[in-house]
A and B are shown apart, each in its own frame.
Chain A
Amino acid sequence: MNCKICKTKGIKKNAIVNLPSYNLSLCKEHFIEWFERRVQNTIKDFQMFTKEDRILVAVSGGKDSLGLWFVLNKLGYNADGIHIDLGINDYSKKSREYVEEFAKKIERKLYIVDLSTEIASISILKEKIPNKPPCSICGIIKRYYMNKISKKEGYNTLATGHNLDDEISVLFGNILNWNLDYLSKQYPILKEYENIFVRKVKPYCRITEKESALYTFLMGIKYIEQECPLSTGATSLKYKKILGDIEEQFPGTKLRFFNNFLRKFYPLLANKITEENLQRCKICNEPSSLEICAVCNIKMKLAKL
């Protein structure tokens, strides 16, 4: 199979990537070009940020976040990184090494939050708080520190590497449960709110997991390939598998599902977003829907306060 773009220029070159949803086969050079343009267009379409903004990229050490950090800088944006060391044995150790090595390589500032010293490792929290799934605890803590550090260090935008597959697996779960509150917040950009929340953006929301892995591989970026050992059996992974099976049968479904949600359904919910329950945590002064925020609550359970 030959590259379709090269063909239009009268050149015969082997394709390395086939993108059935776009009816496109591309060589290495044109895939990279296509990918970067797609990220750039997503940033512009959703008015995520400009070259004047200070962006902090949440980097886990996986393909999406490292690739995103790389591409944002390549496109000329001002993006530094933040990594939360979750303390999940060898997995976290390796992840942190990949992130630190990469930060040095691209010469960008990296902030590290070590959960073992801040609260306790996720492995310990999982044992101490058995009634909450570890992914849920992890999500609460990550969101808390990412928002807190962004504000403290003067960044106005927090970028995460959530890709199309991540987005639609969450969307699928939220629709199965008709969780309107979560659906009303599922958008590629969540605007800043007073001095409480920084802007949150997902520039990879129209990039599939495979496209992201292909780009990161082609850019020669080393990343942790293993899945988080605590996420095994996570519902979102099962949903990804189901949606992947549908996509194989009907190419383009994943993108259509997401785009049509944003275009047709989200506007019906968007006006329902309120921050009326929002207050400041009595202990740490960070945003919370209760008097004491979820992270301070966890700390109290562990008698760290």
Chain B
Amino acid sequence: MEQKFIFNIKYRGKIYNLASDKNKLSPKDILKFLGLSEEYAFVVKNGEIVLLNTSISPEDEIEVINAVSGG
């Protein structure tokens, strides 16, 4: 059986598990998984904001901030 890599992503108070065949993902992959646009959202890796070309491993602490708000 093919090995899956699990990425735990914190987003708006909830944890989402992304199972991937790859052991490295980019913030772009993470935003795509959550269905968010890079125009409004960004990724925080181990407490630091990162650009879209950064490499993310399953052991990294990942948080996604979506800037869109209403009301």
Contact = CB atoms under 8 A, between A and B. Distances in A.
Interface of A: 1, 14-18, 25, 28, 60, 62-64, 135, 138, 165, 208-210, 212-214, 217-218, 225-228, 230-232, 234, 236-237, 240-241, 244-245, 247-248
Contacts of B38: 248
Contacts of A210: 39-42, 67
B16 to A, nearest CB: 14
A226 B49 CA distance: 20
Contacts of B13: 225-226
B7 to A, nearest CB: 20
Interface string B7-36: 000001100000000000000000000000
B6 interface: no
Given A63-B69, A212-B67, A248-B37, A226 B53 contact: no
Interface in B41-71: 41-42, 44, 48-53, 65-71
A213 B42 contact: yes
Contacts of A241: 37
Given A244-B37, A244-B39, A245-B37, A209 B51 contact: no
B51 A228 contact: no
Contacts of A63: 67, 69
A209 B69 contact: yes
B53 A135 contact: no
A1 B51 contact: yes
A255 B5 CA distance: 40
Contacts of B68: 165, 209, 227, 237, 240
Nearest to B38: A248
A62 B51 contact: no
Contacts of B40: 165, 209-210, 240, 244
23 contacts: A1-B53, A16-B49, A16-B50, A18-B52, A28-B49, A60-B71, A62-B69, A135-B71, A165-B40, A208-B67, A209-B67, A209-B69, A217-B44, A217-B49, A225-B13, A225-B65, A225-B69, A237-B70, A244-B37, A244-B39, A245-B37, A245-B39, A247-B39
A248 B39 contact: yes
Contacts of B52: 18
A225 B48 contact: no
